[in-house]
Structure 1
Amino acid sequence: MPSAVRFGVNYTPSEGWFHHWLDFDPDSVRADLDSIAALGLDHIRVFPLWPYFQPNRTLIRGRAVEHLVQLVDAAAERGLDVNVDGLQGHLSSFDFLPAWTRTWHRRNLFTDPDVLDGQAAYLRALAAALADRPNFLGMTLGNEVNQFSAGPHPDPDRATEDDIDRWLTRMLAACEEGAPGRLHLHAEYDATWYQDDQPFTPGQAARHGAVTAVHSWVFNGTAQRHGRASVPSEHHAAYLIELSKAWADDPHRPVWLQEVGAPAPLVPPEHAAAFTEATVANALDCPGLWGVTWWCSHDVSRDLADFPDLEYGLGLLTNDRAPKDTARVLERAARATPRTPEPRTTALIVPADPARRSLCAPGGPVFDAFFQLTADGARPTTVLDTRADDPAHLGARGITEVVAPDQVLPTP
Structure 2
Amino acid sequence: MTYSTGAAPRFGVNYTPSRGWFHHWLDFDLDPVRRDLDAIAALGLDHLRVFPLWPLFQPNRTLIRPRALEQLAALVDAAGERGLDVAVDGLQGHLSSFDFLPAWTTSWHRRNLFTDPAVVAAQAAYLETLGRALAGRANFLGLTVGNEVNQFSGDPHPDPDRISPARAADWLTGLLAACERGAPGRLHLHASYDAAFYQDDHPFTPAHSARLGAVTAVHSWVFNGTAQRYGPDSAATVQHAAYLVELAKAWAQDPHRPVWLQEVGAPAPHIAPGRAGAFTRATVAAALDCPDLWGITWWCSHDVDRALADFPELEYTLGLLTTDQRVKPGGRALAEAVAEARQDWRPPGPRRTALVLDLPEAAPKRSTCAPGGAFFEAFMRLAADGARPTVLLAERVADPSGLAARGITEIVTVADLT
- TM-score over 0.5 for the pair: yes
Compute the displacement of 1:341 (Å): 0.8
**CA displacement at 1:351 relative to structure 2:** 2.8
| 2:288 equivalent in structure 1 | 284
Partner in structure 2 of residue 408 of structure 1: 417
Q: Contact 2:189–2:215 (CA<8 Å) still a contact in 1?
A: yes
What does 1:202-213 correspond to in 2, within 5 Å? 202-213=206-217
Distance 1:228 1:363 in 2: 15
Contact 1:296/1:315 (<8 A) preserved: yes
Instruction: Report deviation, 1:196.
Output: 1.1
Aligned match of 2:153: 149
Distance 2:300 2:346 in 1: 25
Q: For 1:113-134, what per-residue CA distance to the aligned partner results, in whole angstroms no more than 9, with x for missing partners? A: 0000100000000011000000
Conservation of the 8 A alpha-carbon contact between 2:201 and 2:366? no
- In structure 2, how many angstroms separate the alpha carbons of the residues matched to 1:221 and 1:406? 24
Residue of structure 2 in register with 1:30 after alignment: 34
Partner of 1:123: 127
Preserved CA contact (<8 Å) 1:150 1:197: no
State the partner residue of 2:230.
226
The answer to whether the aligner puts 1:83 opposite 2:91 as a matched pair is: no
Q: RMSD between aligned alpha carbons?
A: 0.7
**TM-score of the superposed pair, with normalisation by structure 1:** 0.98
**Which residue is 2:221 aligned to?**
217
**Which deviates the most, 347-356 or 98-107?**
347-356
Q: What secondary structure, in the 3-state scheme, does the structure 2 residue paired with 1:55 have?
A: coil
Q: Secondary structure at the match of 1:186?
A: strand
1:96 aligns with 2:96: no
1:399 aligns with 2:408: yes
Q: Distance in 2 between matches of 1:339 and 1:90?
A: 37
Give the TM-score taking structure 2 as reference length: 0.97
Unaligned runs of 5+ in 1: none
Q: Is 1:366 aligned with 2:370? A: no
Code of the aligned partner of 2:150? N
* Contact 1:143/1:188 (8 A) holds in 2: yes
CA-CA distance at 1:342 after TM superposition: 1.2
Q: Deviations over 1:35-92 (max 9, x none)?
A: 0000110000000000000000000000001000000000000000000000000000
Contact between 2:11 and 2:46, CA under 8 Å: does it hold in 1?
yes
CA contact (8 A) 2:403 2:409 kept: yes
The corresponding residue for 2:354 is: 347
Q: What is aligned with 2:264?
A: 260
Deviation readout 1:282-323 (Å, 9 max, x if unpaired):
000001100000000000000000000000000000011110
Whether 2:183 is the aligned partner of 1:174: answer no
Distance 1:141 1:250 in 2: 21
Which residue among 126, 135, 138 is the counterpart of 2:142? 138
CA contact (8 A) 1:351 1:357 kept: no
Aligned with 2:385 (options 376, 381, 404): 376
The whole-number CA distance in structure 2 between the counterparts of 1:384 and 1:133 is 40
Aligned residues: 409
Q: What is the rounded CA distance, in whole Å, between the counterparts of 2:53 and 2:305 in structure 1?
A: 18
2:52 — aligned with what? 48
Identify which range, 233-242 or 326-335, moves more after superposition.
Answer: 326-335
How far is the alpha carbon of 1:389 from its aligned partner?
1.6
> Identity across aligned pairs (percent)?
69
The CA distance in 2 between the partners of 1:373 and 1:88, in whole Å, is 38
| Aligned-pair CA distance for 1:256 | 0.3
CA distance in 2, matches of 1:67, 1:198: 36
What's the offset of the Cα at 1:398? 0.5
Amino acid at match of 1:105: H
Distance of 2:346 and 2:322 partners within structure 1: 31
